[in-house]
Chain A
């Protein structure tokens, strides 16, 4: 029973265009969302986050949008660059206390084509 879903295993985008990575969740107790980027043979690195009290957070080329009613978030990267090619994981934190571990999606492999 996946609580965080990334339905696109891979996404191919041309350099310079916008990349949009999507994430859906089912647990209404999630109150904080993070995006991580992972290169092969490396651990995930934090990219950007958003609290459930916001609907948008921007950091340079990266913007995360949160639609709480739809339980959906998306990561926009514009313009896309070759170094953005990586696996992107959506993660969420449960506000209900207890586990402080993050719940991750399966990831989307973003490929930026020249």
Chain B
């Protein structure tokens, strides 16, 4: 079956522009996560969805970041007024939620470059 897919794979944008990143989780997975990996850093947790609701937005770095999930499936992460420090690989993961110990399945990521 298909894994987690993300689009676009690469995005180059100018400082101040808005960007939207998309994640298609594995079919049937109810939990969805967004992370980002800046150069030389580990993965940084951004936001978690259970179904369409986001019980945990604690990792969003600023109010320029928002995310939504519709139909319990596709999610979009939006970054408004991008800054150079937003440059990173944005990774999406999903899990079937049979308990908190389920491993998360990651997509290939979107590499965002803000000029």
Contact = CB atoms under 8 A, between A and B. Distances in A.
Interface of A: 4, 6, 32, 34, 36, 41-46, 49, 51, 89, 91, 93, 98-107
Contacts of A105: 42
A106 B42 contact: yes
Nearest to B6: A43
Contacts of B105: 46
Nearest to A100: B48
Contacts of A46: 103-105
Interface of B: 4, 31, 33, 35, 40-48, 50, 56, 58-59, 91, 93, 100-101, 103-109
A53 B88 CA distance: 35
Contacts of A49: 101, 103
A43 B45 contact: no
A72 to B, nearest CB: 17
Given A32-B100, A93-B101, A99 B58 contact: yes
B59 A101 contact: yes
B33 A101 contact: yes
Given A105-B42, A106-B42, A43 B4 contact: yes
Contacts of A91: 43
A93 to B, nearest CB: 7
B94 to A, nearest CB: 11
Contact of A99 (B48, B93, B107, B109): B48
B100 A43 contact: no
A104 B106 CA distance: 14
A100 B101 contact: no
A98 B50 CA distance: 12
Given A93-B100, A102-B43, A106-B40, A43 B56 contact: no
Given A101-B33, A104-B43, A44 B91 contact: yes
A102 B104 contact: yes
Given A43-B107, A49-B103, A99 B45 contact: yes
B106 A43 contact: yes
A102 B35 CA distance: 9
A100 B97 CA distance: 11
A101 B56 contact: yes
